[in-house]
Amino acid sequence: MEEQKEQLAVAMPRIGDAAPEFKAVTTQGDINFPSDYKGNWVILFSHPADFTPVCTSEFMTFASMEEQFARANCKLVGLSVDGLYSHIAWLRTIKDKIEYRGMKDVEVKFPLIEDITMEVAKKYGMIQPNEDTTKAVRAVFFIDPKGIIRTIIYYPLSLGRNFDELYRVLLALKTSDEFGVATPADWRPGDDVIISPAGSCGSAQNRMEGKKGDMDCKDWFFCTKKINEDDIMKKVLKK
């Protein structure tokens, strides 16, 4: 068992790395990743197994939000270490039979990767052997239009993801890129954003002497400014 765990403990990609490349069979045909997605944001996410309840609730939620993510130029790609026919049967069952929290007749149109060999799951550190040696954890990789990993979130098998949070992360990453700002705790579009800290003693002094332009400074290192929600959404949707 320990030896098996060691074999599964591969180097994991990190924030700022190029997304590892792979070719895969999916429920929407073959894909070359990430090259097929150049110019788009992508959320690559794994789930432990088909025909399981938490995963079913997650897939129904993500599929229901697919258009919302698409409007922000973001495509979704799922993965589990099950085979293609299991994936197809599960997605058919979801559409035909499962009604959950007002969602029904839900068609999962985004690709679901088959990864029986665990090749992709291992490349992305989705198998975390002390959690489970045969199932992927709930990993979420946000990959930007240049193919760079920008955020990674992991959840254990028992914990369903918060998809509003995943959407918030996407908007925050795009807002940082578009406006050159950072986003504070619990930020949502329309809330004040953070200006980078003063880079010199002179600008720190200016900030404390009131020469702050449109900034609101709590101290020389902590300044915020307003960007209204419409301006943010105009920039971050469809780009």
Site residues (vs ligand BEZ, CB under 6 A): 48-49, 52-55, 135, 157-158
- DSSP H/E element including 222: strand 222-225
- Find the shortest distance in angstroms from Cβ 51 to ligand BEZ: 9
- Find the shortest distance in angstroms from Cβ 77 to ligand BEZ: 18
- Find the shortest distance in angstroms from Cβ 196 to ligand BEZ: 41
Name which of 24 and 54 has its Cβ closer to ligand BEZ: 54
CB atoms within 10 A of CB 177: 15
Name which of 55 and 232 has its Cβ closer to ligand BEZ: 55
Q: Is the dihedral of CA 82, 87, 91, 93 positive or negative?
A: negative
- Residue tagged active-site, from 55, 74, 217, 223: 55
d(CA 24, CA 33): 8
CB of 118 within 8 A of CB of 132?
no
Active site residue 55: yes
- Find the shortest distance in angstroms from Cβ 67 to ligand BEZ: 24
Q: What is the length of the chain?
A: 239
CA 43 distance to own-chain centroid = 4
Position of tokens 């079913």?
A: 56
Name which of 48 and 111 has its Cβ closer to ligand BEZ: 48
Name which of 158 and 200 has its Cβ closer to ligand BEZ: 158
CB of 235 within 8 A of CB of 174?
yes
Active site residues: 55
